[in-house]
Amino acid sequence: MRLPSLFFRVRSFLRRTCWPVLPLVGGIMLFSFFVQWSVSPELALPSGHILRMGALVFFAASALLWSAKQWRAQAYLFYVAVLLPLIWVLVAGRATNGSRRWIDLFGGLKLQPSEFMKVAVILVLARWFADHPKPSRLSDLFKPGVLVAVPAFLILVEPDLGTALVFVPLFLGMAWLAGLPWRSFRWLLLLPALLAPIGWLAIQDYQKERILTWWHQNELSPEENASSGYHLHHAKLAVGSGGLTGFGFGQGPENRLGLLPERHNDFVFPVIAEEYGFFGAVGFLLLYASLGITLLAFAARYRDPFARYTLAGVGMHFLIHLSLNVGVTLGVWPTTGLPLPMISFGGSSMMASGLALGLALVVGATRAPLFSSRAFEA
């Protein structure tokens, strides 16, 4: 293919799709690079993270190899293809700190299937609600609920409570967008509260301790802050000590002294607040939230339900992670292990984020507004 022809095809594609996503992702990735650089030992250049960012681009580009029509047609197959490794990880996955979440690959690499399951659930729910429009009763949500509940249960058994919880607001949000009336939706909102006692019996002892510590976070003794409340205590110290402008790149005391646990992964936001202060933290939150809001705004422009639900699902995916991850570090939610996609350390999360973004771009390029299958024609 000649370069001029390729240029015009790319330009045509970008004009049709939700192109504002690209500069927003670029800004988030720039933030990601400097944060991972800041938390690296001796401020060494994070070469590993550069490779992970390359993996995001690769998986996003790979998603473009299928058309939106193909993604819709193969939604259930993709779901099953990701569900099988999720089952396999419970049988023969790597056990680390009492959890089985990873599958060992070649060259010391490992894969976390639960990250890809989030994309699979978005895709399969978009297909289901596109094929079964406007659910009117709770019984209409039984089958899509099972599609979500099965992987959520498998992930909870690993155990990985943080990732399992992501599926709850994702399912609720997509059911609402699909047109579930308020008289039914309000009862659906009560379901997590009704299931909470059962969930309490199912979770591990250390998870119960985290919840109790969170509930009494303002009443903890110095000894408790040094043990069960250590993560939350130092996260709040880092956020509060940053002031308006922060300590500067690589200068945060909690970060550089190694006092902030999991600062490269689940507790990455306190590093941002400590080193860039209130203004930097708010700027980052606005930038990240703009990605999800932009996808939701573009979703509203599509009449084709599959395109609309897919874009909205990807947008909610990033907004849910932002809310849960940052909320945990601020003490809004109990401490759970949940990365911040595109910012936290983790190859599987980065690859899944790239896949989700590529899916949003290719589906966003469908010709709208059309109702029939012709909406997927190039």
Within the chain, where are the H helices? 3-16, 21-39, 47-63, 68-73, 75-92, 113-131, 142-157, 161-177, 182-202, 205-215, 222-225, 230-241, 253-256, 269-299, 305-330, 347-364
pLDDT tens-place values along the chain, 378 residues long: 565 666 777 777 777 888 899 999 999 999 999 999 999 988 889 999 999 999 999 999 999 999 999 999 999 999 999 999 999 999 887 777 667 888 888 777 889 999 999 999 999 999 999 999 889 898 999 999 999 999 999 998 888 888 999 999 999 999 999 999 998 888 888 877 777 777 777 777 777 888 888 888 888 888 888 888 899 999 999 999 999 999 999 999 999 988 998 899 999 999 999 999 999 999 999 999 999 999 999 999 888 999 999 999 999 999 999 999 999 999 999 888 899 999 998 899 999 999 999 999 999 987 654 344 444 443
Question: Domain containing 333: what range?
Answer: 16-376
**Structural domains of the chain, count:** 1
Is the Cβ–Cβ distance between 354 and 362 less than 8 Å? no
Q: Does some domain include residue 310?
A: yes
What b-and-e string marks burial along 58-67, b requiring 16 or more CB atoms within 10 Å of the CB? ebbeebeebb
Q: Does some domain include residue 9?
A: no
Return d(Cα 17, Cα 339) in angstroms, integer. 28
* pLDDT value, residue 1: 52
Angle at 268 between CA 262 and CA 273, to 5 degrees: 130
Q: Does some domain include residue 6?
A: no
Q: Does some domain include residue 367?
A: yes
Return d(Cα 339, Cα 267) in angstroms, integer. 8
Return d(Cα 268, Cα 340) in angstroms, integer. 8
* pLDDT value, residue 9: 74
Q: Does some domain include residue 3?
A: no
* pLDDT value, residue 378: 38
Q: Does some domain include residue 20?
A: yes
Q: Which one-letter amino acid corresponds to residue 267? A: F
* pLDDT value, residue 376: 44
Residue 2 to residues 12, 14, 60, Cα–Cα distance (Å): 16, 19, 23
* pLDDT value, residue 18: 87
Q: Does some domain include residue 7?
A: no
Selection from 75, 72, 158 nearest residue 113 by Cα: 158
Largest separation between any pair of C-alpha atoms in the chain: 69
* pLDDT value, residue 370: 39
How much is the pTM? 0.92
* pLDDT value, residue 184: 87
First to last CA, the chain: 18
Q: How many CB atoms lie within 10 A of CB 182?
A: 9
Sheet arrangement for strand 94-96: 94-96, 99-104, 110-111
Is the Cβ–Cβ distance between 278 and 312 less than 8 Å? no
DSSP-assigned states of every residue in 229-249: THHHHHHHHHHHHTTTT-S-T
